[in-house]
Amino acid sequence: MSTPKQTKNTTAFFAQAGISFAVALLAMLFAILYLPVDPWVRAFFGMTTLFLTTSSFTLAKCIRDAQDEQYVVTRLDQARVDKILADHDPFRSVS
């Protein structure tokens, strides 16, 4: 049984993700500000954009935490198997 490999994101990928998030959020805010509607509709869209943004961060954190927990469980199981194999002596008499 092999342990799963921890992958690291490159700096370029991290920068691209951050920039694309910022551009999308700014575009949405710009669209809300210049939308030809009443102020209460603009406020509603702004509030829902804020809620969607914070919910996205929360969901991403929950997914990351679940993956980290699974990785820890896998590592613990692997350590238990390694200990059993290290303690096993096939030439010991069974008496």
The closest of 24, 33, 16, 32 to 56, measured between CA atoms, is: 24
Predicted pLDDT of residue 75: 79
Whether the predicted pLDDT of 4 surpasses 60: no
Domain locations in the chain as residue ranges: 11-87
CA 67 distance to own-chain centroid: 8
**Cα separations in angstroms, 64 against 7, 10, 18:** 13, 17, 17
pTM of the entire structure? Answer: 0.59
pLDDT digits (tens, 9 = 90+) for 22-58: 999 999 999 999 999 999 999 999 999 999 999 999 9
